[in-house]
Chain A
Amino acid sequence: MAQDQQRPPHQRHEEDQHIPDPLPEGTPSPGSASAQSADLDSLLDEIDGVLEVNAEEFVQGFVQKGGQ
């Protein structure tokens, strides 16, 4: 089938790929948008507080052996 060998209309090449933000800029229900973003801000504050501080070293040190 001819369609089979065409690239799909939305397929993008890996290297060009822009990873979009999943947070919608669209039309959240009235009144919730600022509350949501305040929630996220407060959540990020907490994450910043709990995240290991020596990220570079910690992540480098996390080496596992093979598994299934």
Chain B
Amino acid sequence: MTHVSLIPTALANKFPSDRPTVGYGVHRVVGLETEFGIHAPAHPQASHSVMSLELINAYGHKLTSEGTNVASTEWDYNEESPLSDARGWQMPRSIAHPSQLTDQALANNAGQDIHMLVNLILPNGARFYVDHAHPEYSSPETTNPIDAVIWDQAGDRIAQQAADHIADANGAAEMILYKNNTDSKSVSYGAHENYLVARDLDFDELSDHLIGFFATRQIITGAGRVGIGSLNDRTGFQISQRADFFEEEVGLETTIRRPIVNTRDEPHATPESYRRLHVIIGDANLSQYSTWLRVGMTSLVLSLIELGELPMVELAEPVQALQDISHDPSLQTQVLVNGRGWMTAIEVQRIYQEAAQTYLDRYGIDDQQSLDVVNAWAEVLDLLEHDPAQLADRLDWVAKYQLLNGMRERHALDWSNAKLAMLDLQWADLREEKGLYYTLVSRGAMRTIVTVEQIQQAISMPPTTTRAWTRGRLIDRFGAHLAGVSWESVLVRPFRQGPLQRFQLLEPLAATADDFNGLLAAGKPQLTLEDTPENQTELTQLLKQLQPYRVTGRK
């Protein structure tokens, strides 16, 4: 496979040769995951795992009943190893918390496999599946923050369409989905970001930089929460949904003793070239603007870390700082930065923003997406400092806080009032007629940065710039001839006979629409299982084009 890169050659030549880089500006391979809250108000005792299963299966049913293919085979877990750790050791299964074993098929109480689909791979290249007791959408791989927003928001619509499909069934109980991160009792669930970074980048260097950035970026990316403490034992409002659920600085866990920097190392890509940075600290954002900045700012910071050009900001007490910052929506809280003194989160973020600006200037990076992010980042920091209310049309936490304060004033409520907790919850309700975020959007009170049409299209079509194109389009066109699909592999069995042919798509930037247009072009009809000369010809062509990715024997 020839080496492919996102970085234009002229720019790559300007980068220091001793610093391996796999992205530039805001351009980087990224995918977003959302674990949705799931609730059936009329059936409080309903099993969350079973509801999640029903939801996933409902979406599979919806697609197939509309004549759309979906890869509903068992997920190809050959490559999945969630217990391998970035620091180079394997955690013995016996000491892993049972809930960490995401690569086990679900079983019922009697230990028998449940014969429902736990996992779908969709024509848009995403994965929609049951993770623990939540439905989860993992977006296809994208290469810039705008695309990341589009396919993330497509996931929200997909999940809601699944719930609507259940609601259409006779006698079905209403199932409500929430794009939030806590039930404000004791439980948190994630909205993870995945960024590919250069494998040769020293992991300790990476995590040392990320701790300060992650502890402070919440003032822009937070989704807002009513209640303080992981057990919700104090009243009030805080900036982040997730902050109170973090206990460590660096570690492998994602469900207990959560770390600010997660070390899970499953690149789902050429391991010699890439590490997948698995970011578990973020809040799920309804706001497109918040999601866009979350991905854009983080991508920029990673580009600087790869080049060794990010100033070091070392928090004296990162976990405490994370929570102190979250607990103060006035943004006045200062945290101790070693060697720099006491600083507000705004001041810390300015260090990163200014470094990003300097980096773009130095290398002459002037593409619109990179400039838009760095400029918006500066503007948001200025407004947070001087007039945060102006950000109520952009940032989740500010918009939510404005509504909460309006309600408190109007009805003379204190923070313990259930109405405020209801508002917090309903902000994230994915039903467009109920969700308060959608209410604001429909009134023009919340900015959007992508169109309804773009989101609509991304429900069924993959991004063109990554291997997700081949994954999604293969499912749509050749689904009848696929035996298995995962992030980095495809199993083909033409006409359901003969030996399986296995193809590995380890390079996320190969097998894109540029490589596979024609055969996998949009609008081409599905290939049936009928063994006709035409179908034979198309399959032969497909296998020929896939030949460079062919692997023989299983690893």
- Residues on A close to B: CB < 8 A? 1, 3-4, 8-12, 14, 17, 19-24, 26, 39-40, 43-44, 46-48, 50-52, 55-56, 58-68
A-contacting 9-mer, from B367-375, B421-429, B538-546: B421-429
Out of A22, A55, A56, A66, name the residue touching B255 (CB < 8 Å): A66
Q: Taking the complex as formed, is B196 at the interface, i.e. its CB lies under 8 A from any CB of chain A?
A: no
- Please give the distance in Å from A51's CB to the nearest CB on chain B: 6
- Residues on B close to A: CB < 8 A? 35, 37-39, 41, 44, 48-49, 99, 131-134, 178, 182-185, 187-190, 192, 234, 236-237, 254-255, 280, 316, 324, 327-330, 332-334, 336, 338-339, 341-342, 387-389, 398, 401-403, 405-407, 410, 415, 418-419, 421-423, 425-426, 433-434, 436, 439-440, 443, 445
Q: Cβ of B440: which chain A residues have Cβ within 8 Å of it?
A: 43
Out of B237, B254, B402, B443, name the residue touching A23 (CB < 8 Å): B402
Q: Cβ of B415: which chain A residues have Cβ within 8 Å of it?
A: 19
CA distance A25 to B355 in the complex (A): 33
Please state if B336 and A8 are interface contacts (CB–CB under 8 Å).
yes
Please state if A64 and B183 are interface contacts (CB–CB under 8 Å).
yes
Q: Given A47-B403, A51-B436, A59-B184, list of 12 further CB < 8 A pairs? A: A4-B341, A10-B334, A11-B334, A20-B330, A43-B406, A43-B439, A44-B406, A47-B406, A50-B434, A64-B182, A66-B132, A66-B255
Please state if B49 and A65 are interface contacts (CB–CB under 8 Å).
yes
14 A-B pairs with CB atoms under 8 Å apart are: A11-B324, A19-B237, A20-B330, A22-B329, A46-B443, A47-B406, A47-B407, A58-B422, A59-B422, A61-B39, A62-B178, A64-B189, A68-B131, A68-B132
Interface majority SS (helix, strand, loop, mixed), chain A: loop
* 7 shortest interchain CB distances as A-B pairs: A67-B189, A65-B133, A8-B342, A8-B334, A55-B422, A64-B183, A56-B418
Q: Cβ of B255: which chain A residues have Cβ within 8 Å of it?
A: 66-68
Q: Cβ of A59: which chain B residues have Cβ within 8 Å of it?
A: 184, 418, 421-422, 425
B333: nearest chain-A partner, CB-CB: A11
Please state if A63 and B406 are interface contacts (CB–CB under 8 Å).
no
Please state if A68 and B280 are interface contacts (CB–CB under 8 Å).
yes
Out of A22, A46, A51, name the residue touching B388 (CB < 8 Å): A22
CA distance A4 to B317 in the complex (A): 11
CA distance A26 to B182 in the complex (A): 34
